[in-house]
A = this chain, B = another copy of it.
């Protein structure tokens, strides 16, 4: 089939649903409850969510985008995405993980467009080659549009990462994809090493494609208690009773990820699972920590000394591999290596690239101490 025909055809039915409820504590002190990672411009001038919407806009028209977020972030997201209508930004009364979030979108869309194909997207990832990204998505949309197919985008692992779920891929499918044999939760180091060596394992990117019909059917099968609640909320969408219904029923939904609720059990069905993995060879980074951000930028700009310092003027001496964010200050770095230092209006973080993942512990401490202004 001609690619352009697929594009035009699928654009009409393709609905990007962007999950933007994450708190992203690992970018503290830059990220806060009301300014989560997806609302930060960590890679370029646009924020992560603005980039996510922009790169998908060639595949769908703006009125078909949906953002699922929380009440803390709703206002800032609306500000950052003025081209979206208010009703396209849905704020959960409380977080119930990804299954109810994407499920609600599916039940809403099914009512207005029985042929809707939904793409589920994280709001805070970096994509390298956007043309390749859209090519993969177009293939995925075509697959998801037929039958009960579910498509997941898989990332070729480059290290034995224990922080991601993995996809075990099986026989080839349709030239560029593979059938999914199994979804696997985050492995320990030993298993992660095995996966890396085996060659047929992919990181689960969190990007899925399916029709609204397929997804709602799957939810009815795998989450029989939650699916009717979501259906009721969806029925109230657009009416004066939506908010009250949403706030009443959503907390009763199971707090579960779509991976765990649907994809893992489905993958056990063998060939009948209709689960397909498309390798996402377009350059991907989920920027999971200050360290990951540092590595991403070093990869792009390749400074000889590995220092990435934002400031009003910089002086370095005997200093390598440091990440310093202090955009309003003159920054002098003398005799230190591999530090992460981040300064904001009200906070100063000093840590190392190795320990930057522990930043979440600071936020936990601040939560416990009820230092609300700092979280």
Q: Using a CB–CB distance below 8 Å, which chain A residues touch chain B? A: 28-29, 311-313, 315, 317-318, 322, 324, 326, 328-336, 339, 341, 343-344, 346-352, 354-355, 358-359, 361-362, 365-366, 371, 374
Contacts and interface: CB of A to CB of B under 8 A. Distances in A.
B334 A348 contact: no
A348 B362 contact: no
A324 B347 contact: no
A311 to B, nearest CB: 7
Given A341-B341, A343-B343, A334 B350 contact: yes
B358 A348 contact: no
Nearest to A353: B335
13 contacts: A29-B332, A311-B348, A313-B371, A324-B348, A328-B346, A329-B344, A330-B346, A330-B374, A332-B362, A333-B351, A334-B352, A334-B358, A339-B339
Nearest to A324: B350
Given A326-B348, A330-B346, A365 B315 contact: yes
A286 B268 CA distance: 73
B331 A347 contact: yes
A348 B343 contact: yes
Contact of A335 (B313, B328, B332, B358): B358
Contacts of A371: 313, 330
The 8 tightest CB contacts between A and B, nearest first, are: A335-B355, A334-B351, A330-B347, A329-B348, A332-B362, A326-B348, A333-B350, A332-B349
Contacts of A347: 329-332
B315 A332 contact: no
A350 B339 contact: yes
Contacts of A315: 362, 365-366
Given A343-B343, A371-B313, A336 B350 contact: yes
Given A343-B329, A374-B330, A317 B358 contact: yes
A334 to B, nearest CB: 4
Contacts of A351: 332-336
Nearest to A28: B332
Contact of A329 (B333, B346, B361): B346
B346 A334 contact: no
A324 B355 CA distance: 18
A347 to B, nearest CB: 4
Nearest to A344: B329
A351 B343 CA distance: 15
Contacts of A339: 336, 339, 350
Contact of A346 (B28, B312, B350, B352): B312
Contacts of A28: 332
Given A365-B315, A371-B313, A331 B346 contact: no
A334 B318 contact: no
A28 to B, nearest CB: 8
Nearest to A311: B348
Contacts of A349: 332, 334
